[in-house]
Structure 1
Amino acid sequence: MFNVKISPFSLNIYSTVYSFHLQQKVNFLLVSKKTESVVGFLHPKERELQALRFALDEINKNAEILPNITLGFRAYDSCALLQYDLEGALQILTGLDRHIPNYRCSSGAPLSSIIGSAISTHSVLLASIMGIYNFPQVSHFSTSAILSDHIRFPSFFRTVPSDIFQSKGLADLVVHLRWTWVGLVASDNDYGQLGIQLLQQELFKAGACVAFNEKILTSYPDRNAPHIVKIIKTSTAKVVVLYATDFDVGPILKEMAKQNVTGKILVASEGWSTSTISSLGKFSALLNGTIGLALQSGTTPAWIKIFWELAFICRFTSDKNESEPWDTNVKECTGSENLENLQNVYNDVSNLRSTYSVYTAILVVANALKDMNNCKNGEGPFSKRLCADIKDFKPWQLLYYLKKVRFKLNSGKEVYFDKNGDPPAVYDIVNWQLSPTGNMRYVKVGSFDMTAPPDNIFTINTSSIQWNSGENEVPISVCSKSCPPGFWKAARRGEPVCCYDCVPCPQGEISNQTDSFTCIKCPWDMWPNPEKSNCLPKVIEYLSYEEPLGTTLACTSTFSSFVPVIILKFFLQFKATPIVKANNYSLSCLLLLSLSFCFLCSLMFIGFPKPENCLVRQAAFGMVFSLCVSCILAKTIMVVFAFMATKPGSNLKKWTSPWMSYMIISICLLLQFILCVTWLSFEPPFLEKNIVTQPRLIILQCNEGSPTAFWCMLGYLGLLATISFVVAFLARKLPDSFNEAKYITFSMLAFLSVWVSYIPASLSSQGKYTVAMEVFAILASSWAIVFCMFAPKCFIILTLKNNCP
């Protein structure tokens, strides 16, 4: 504890400092002729105490802040123990060396505020008590989110951001670096558990997953390090967030070195992100590449000056006291000394983050007192617009000004508090890097600034980060590798959402992004590419003249249509011959013409299926083939009638006249015509785009409108052919010179065979091949009639022609 004499009027600031005994270095860094060591200068808690002293000295020398008022302080060393913290706070409230609840006995300068504690758990207890008295408390290092509850802790303020913002910043850091599979390790206290809970919530919101969540048991001497490190080592997570203080992280690092854990990236909370633990060389391999958040750095000019003198064992000329002899053993500081030559991990004076936070806390109280002192009666904020008496004010009166304090530091940073007593959340993103000399450096690689515009809150330069792998690329930490386009992420049952299997998109669907959760269906006229990453226009399919199959069928149809015409020419040329006369010359000519049309009608099935083609092609096919089969049926019946009419006493001679043949043909055609007209009137065929048969294609086809009508039309042809076949078969042994009935039997047998085979073939084929099967059936059945009916006759005619003289 320091007792500092103050005059002509003074105010006291109570401060708690941890982890060292003040009496050991009570004269440390006082202005004197003695020179202390650099290491002593940089003991964290000693720095904080000296920052407090320098801040007060700077304020007291500045007449514009508190004129004629001197600020003093009393310091208590809590040794990082909660009971000492509580005891010191109660003594301050009591004003005695022992504490008496609800009683104050003190004289002299009023006590303005308490600076501390640095430990969140301790600050929670102190703030609960101080809040009862509305006594201002400003912490320089307590970051627990609980302390943001200004209803429970109405008099608590701090110069460091709440862990709410740190957790969000750490989550943004993890997500920005695309780490979706991370391990969490935190101290089992308010700082660690509340912070890690907030971080876990932010990670879940961002879609990242937690591989494990372990507690550093502070009640254990080894902090449960063997178990924690075993989990870290066996986990597939490459990134581990350590949410703790350097005091708790030390045993973990020691155990990691012992178990030779490699290939892990450590993410540091601000509790140890700039810790001097990096000075231990045995941890260099582990800590190189560590990245984390740190309190925003700042500089204290007087601090740098003293550090410079201690670091280089020199004195600045301005410090020379003319009344005292100059120590000739101490050289003069030039300011151009090279700091890098110190080869010391502590030489970054801009990194005195917690020290700078203490410095800021003192300025906060001083500026609140300044605002109070500048108040004019009649314009005051209290009852009857009065002001507080700077010489005898109440704690709640200073509390009013602390809530509204607002000023700028020399660095340009603006200091103020929100409704929860929290300052603006600004963090540096630091990366631990090994220098060529083997020393560890904290390199600022970005920032997390909640006061910046939305697009600039989180900024980072990944190219300046040094990873422990030695590579420039950001290490990967995922449970499952990314699913490429064409796949979607299927969650594994009972595992976190970051653990999944990459499943190919179903037929007709695509995913055009990496790590898609679902696939999207292509439009009806599009189909996925082979990679299923993009929709392409579907191929339009129909039996085209340009493709080999269409060309072959078209050429065959055209060529075949000339064959009946050639035969007809023979019949015209040799119509006087007995064979032509015996085969009913007129019916044979009509049959040959109908066969030529049968061949030609197949061309209506080839090429782009126009609507008008779709409307008439089946009807035309049915009518032409009905004419053809009707002629054969008429020929068959006429053969039977001609034989029966030759019997004695027969009355059938009148039925053998030509009009009988034409009547049979007319009746047969009329029935087919009625069927076709009915079909086209009620359910006509139409052009359709079929995407069901083959989803990857658009099949342009003619929908028959009424399948029943189509099969009735085809069945009627079959009926006519069957009747012709039966009649011809029964008459095959009649005494006919040219066996006409036998030829009709074979031709109808071949005709029926073709169309019976067509039925299963058409049902099993798809798309253009269905059309090709019908064209083939038309050609085959027509050729069967031509060959069976007329080939023998043509052979006889040619033979007789050659034998004639």
Structure 2
Amino acid sequence: MKIRYRGEGRRIVMGRFIIKYLLLCVYLFLIYSSLFFSESSPLSPSCKLRRRFNLNGMHKAGDVILGGLFEVHYSFIFPELTFTSEPHQPNCQGFDTPGFRHAMTMAFAVDEINKNTNLLPNVTLGYILYDNCATLGIGFSAALSLASGQEEQFLLQENCLGNPPVVGIVGDPISTLSIAISSVLGLFKLPIVSYFATCSCLSDRQRFPSFFRTIPSDAFQVVKQNVTGLQWIASEAWTLVDGLHTPAFMPYLGGTLGIAIHRGKIPGLRDFLLRINPHQQQNNSYENSMEKQFWEYTFHCRSSPPPAGWVEAGGALCTGQEDLENVETEFLNVSELGPEYNIYKAVYALAYALDDMLQCEPGRGPFSGHSCASLQRLEPWQLMYYLEKVNFTTPFGDQVSFDENGDALPIYDVMNWLWLPDGRTEVQSVGVVKKSAYNGEELTLDEDKIFWNFDSKQPPRSVCSEGCPPGTRMARKRGQPVCCFDCIPCSEGMISNETDSMECISCPEDFWSSPQHDHCVPKKTEFLSYHEPLGICLTTASLLGTLICAAVLVIFTYHRSTPMVRANNSELSFLLLVSLKLCFLCSLLFIGRPRLWTCQLRHAAFGISFVLCVSCILVKTMVVLAVFKASKPGGGTSLKWFGAMQQRGTVMFLTFIQAAICTAWLVSSSPAPHKNTQYHNDKIVYECVVGSTVGFAVLLGYIGLLAILSFLLAFLARNLPDNFNEAKLITFSMLIFCAVWVAFVPAYVNSPGKYADAVEVFAILASSFGLLVALFGPKCYIILMRPERNTKKAIMGRGTKL
């Protein structure tokens, strides 16, 4: 059984690694130095290095070149070092089809970007892809070949004439190689975006300043969720080890929950892979082309002549007519891609960084003197600035950005090791765990798909505490294992709608927790309603007062020619009855759910109706005094100031002042409906806020001023002869009116919500009934019950007796 390891901690044996690494650096330094200090040559350093190292690769020309390091072979043979002749380079062996697919995914992503008119318009991306052979020495050699173009231009063709330098590298997939390569290339600030190196040590920005990755760090693999019971929790490395997914291990590892590299689909990749045919492509002049090696490996043929160092070639000559669709190969399996998806994101991250760089406006750039970078004089550290700020979303909905350590936002597939009834095994995805820049960590599981390797086939149960039902949260017991916890009921206004919730969540503003605290329910609403007993009583009283006013108005209209009606200023009496009717009706505006129009109209209608009423009473009182004064010798001239026109004008003028006050109030700070949650946490009290307290106070104050003035004048006229005894009724009615509204102020201030409206409606009705009964009750009694007293002789006779 052959087991291959790719991820973290699978290649590091620190002692031997450090020694080999130092020796290798010295060796490569000597080679690299010899190339630059040797006699002049028309070839660039990159060409010299590539020829010296005998590297496998492939290329595509472009305005901007991206480098790539991939594991296309998984083993190598070191030549015997006799030093009696020039040493040969290691030979790569064991063609790795998935590794080659990784390289072709980068080629596909570059090709897709070049076709995209919205990303890097008028700029063509090219690439240089090298095989690291899963070996530190070869991977380091390939990295130096890519980096050597930073000082001089180079080309991939055999003549190696001028070509743009490499501005960023995708790779290396192996953490040990990434550590070595980033340590050296970081000195040049050349961006390196790995798609598979997960060692958390690479997050050290001091050691690896130019390292980025689109795969999460191992630091995120520890899935920090509460999974109880005896259950294997695996890292992503377990999923990659094929030998563990066998029936022999399933009695022990079945039901394991682990994480794997997030997989995605890349539309168009399979069609791109099917177009590979090194015999039909003229732009790939590498002697050791990875495409040729793939073709020979897949179809068991050989090129003519065989490439140097290629020991696995054999069989007939390759014709180029071979068809990939007619051969069984995992190369074309692109149904669920993990590393390939990370490569895809890495290429796009570099492309978006380049695109942002080219969008820079001269004079507003981020560099010294507010300058911008350009393709002609691009420095690697300038691209680093934009790469650190990359933030985009892939067509599949995944957000790509880098934190301050160059790590991508972690996202893993949650995998479950399933034992099928027929004895086969399968690793299936049962959820996703990811960390968002905005929402924190999120774990999504499809619990119905999870296979639990227990006799009961049910999830493991806690050995210390039972699960917490909805409506409670888990609280760990201090000093005890994590499976020991108490279930704390959620507080008022908070809920938990799942079992074993770690936290209770608050309900939205207009909702409250249910009695079980397992879901949110709309808050109860409270306002003075027509359907509750209090609202029904006040509505009935208002309508009753309106009907009584209408009845009195009918009585006075029917008996308008009788002395009783005519002697009491019939025009003002009719106007007073109409105003009282409006006072009764305006109380209805205080009942029902507050709306904007009712809030604005209720106080205006109330204020104007009562001023109209009190103005009529005030003018009637003034008329009584004027008539009495006119009855004395020499006082007849006073009546000319209280004719019908003057009476109506006075009433209208006094009412107009109140209308002006209401208009100014509504325009400056209008009353409005308000949802009040301060009175009760579980209720929403709908009320009308007055807007301007000053406006409301002026409205009430003006009514009170007229009422007090009417009361004082009527009080002075109370002892006039019986012909004018209406002053007694006015005095009594104003006394009731003032008493009601003086008691209203403290009651209104201390009544919350709907009870404030009820107090105001009660005050309106009480004062209205007081005026109606006090002013018109005795008159209606005489008109209806004592008609013999409703004569001119009777009225005049009563006056002569005094």
Give TM class, smaller chain: 0.3 to 0.5
Instruction: Name the TM-score, length of structure 1 as normaliser.
Output: 0.41
